[in-house]
Amino acid sequence: MSQRVLTTESGAPVADNQNSATAGAGGPILVQDQHLLEKLARFNRERIPERVVHARGSGAYGYFEVTDDVTGFTRADFLSEVGRRTETFIRFSTVADSLGGADAVRDPRGFALKFYTNEGNYDLVGNNTPVFFIKDPIKFPDFIHSQKRDPFTGRQEPDNVWDFWANSPEATHQITWLMGDRGIPASYRHMHGFGSHTYQWTNAKGEAFFVKYHFKTNQGVRSLSAEQAAEQVGKDANSHQTDLLQAIERGVNPSWTLHVQLMPAAEAADYRFNPFDVTKVWPHADYPLQRVGRLVLDRNPDNVFAEVEQAAFSPNNFVPGIGPSPDKMLQGRLFAYADAQRYRLGINHTQLPVNAPKAAAVDNYGRDGLHATRYGSRQDKNYEPNSYAGPAQTGAALASPLAVHGWTGTHEAPLHAKDDDFFQAGELYRLMSADEKDRLIANIAGGLSQVTRDDVIEKNLAHFHAADADYGKRVEEAVRALRED
């Protein structure tokens, strides 16, 4: 095999990659050493702004295969035929820590999935929990600030974490999930994934259904206790990345079965819970799971930076037959996710290979900007309408229109019959085994007992009492015991 020649960025061969050019032996370095300056300048720019949330992540390629007929509910082409396969890319992540954080920590996990469909890319951006801490996006920056490093101490502060939760009672349901056994997955392969939000499916007749996504792991759910997690972090801070990489390299391809819950749109207004409140679930007894297909991961990225760090997801990347719902948190994310990538990666981030459509052609009037690679032919115009056979609109909406009414302004979400901040948290607690309850109480008390203000502790205890009398009593006793030690 012939020796490959090292070149500069412009393609010129490099004569010496071991010694900088100097003014004589031992003299100062010359500014004319183009290879040195180019190499150092590139090195200084090898990092891009990390994600504010979900910074620490791992990814893999795979496919989604339809196993059950769902054409009665959606006209999405990639779901139109049993046996149909669509290439996918997934990014798993922790939420609160930075890019250098450990994997085995108590934190929700991002479950962001990109389907490269022949009608364009469809992004489903969810978590490994079916609910979230807040229900309105205007609170999201404050929530994340309370969970991230304090601007003075430079570390995550229990006072900040629990003070925000004390003043946000809707977080009680998600706290119960997070502090329970599934708060620290043993690996990305051994956890479920959820769309979390409510979305809309529309069939060929124009009938609308609200939908929730459930990806059930076929490896079985496995989680770590706080003690096991601490040991794992000490052994390998990159434990989830290591596990995913090595499993796929061995040919042990992880998979999930996708189920959905489907609600006819007309039933939403009178449902006992607000179906668009992401702090709540739809009980399976009301809307049973219906199987759709399976997700299989079978290929690792060749370059983690190019394909995982630069992977960009946005929940507003829909395809015909799928659309948004009035879920307020989803509505906020329709803007925020895409805007985050425009900041991190530039306006042309959708042209990067991991983000570019693979099964659909892109044809629009977007031009120029940083890192533009798509120009069109010399005859193409960059405006519309035009008389030069440029791309034109279809006139066909992706999803069904939603009726709206009332006055503009800031409104609390309308209350449904069983809407409160605590009922479902109590239901979740009562579903747990005795051992699960013991670990939940210990996890909550371990954090809450570190809070320095009594009023913040009391507010949080009131939330657990409201969810379930036994729940509140046991947390209160555990916190008191830890504080007296």
- Catalytic residue numbers read 54, 127
**Which residue type occupies 424?**
Q
CA atoms of 332 and 197, how far apart (whole Å): 12
**Which residue type occupies 221?**
V
Whether 191 and 221 have beta carbons less than 8 Å apart is answered as yes
**Which residue type occupies 275?**
P
DSSP H or E run through 57:
strand 57-66
**Beta strand ranges found along 282-422 (DSSP E):** 290-299, 322-323
Q: Helices 434-448 and 158-166 sit at what angle, rounded to 10 degrees?
A: 110
Number of helices and strands in the chain (H, E): 12, 10
CA atoms of 374 and 354, how far apart (whole Å): 15
The structure tokens listed for 385 are 């309408």
CA atoms of 391 and 385, how far apart (whole Å): 9
CA atoms of 321 and 319, how far apart (whole Å): 6
CA atoms of 84 and 70, how far apart (whole Å): 12
